Structure 1
């Protein structure tokens, strides 16, 4: 016989994990946006903006921080913190 009880779905991650994942994706997206641009309209003219601090240091750092946040979001277990208290 079939039971009419609703089956509770268990997700792999909880709400807090998804919030951290969205924050990480936003930081990664910001890094790629800061890295974009700097092209010259004339291919015979070199544009020095390619070597700006924003594109060489800031944007890659933000992308790495975003990936770190993503790893943290995957490994974070909110249930573990509740049981320790």
Structure 2
């Protein structure tokens, strides 16, 4: 997810660990809030603030977004 790499100041060619917690990656609550806002803007959907803490890895958050936030898009296929 580009938004996480941007927040973490990671170069494009560096691989983002999908199974490490956001906090293990160096994210703070403030950075997570900024990522949430950018994801909402990009997806055109609201994301629960608690989702970022209940789904504390990129992998789990991606699964949550696909199954809950964007379910109508993925169910249509």
TM-score relative to the length of structure 1: 0.23
Question: TM-score with structure 2 length normalisation?
Answer: 0.24
Higher Rg of the two aligned structures: 1
Q: Name the structure with the higher helix share.
A: 1
**Larger RCO (CA under 8 A, 6+ residues apart):** 1
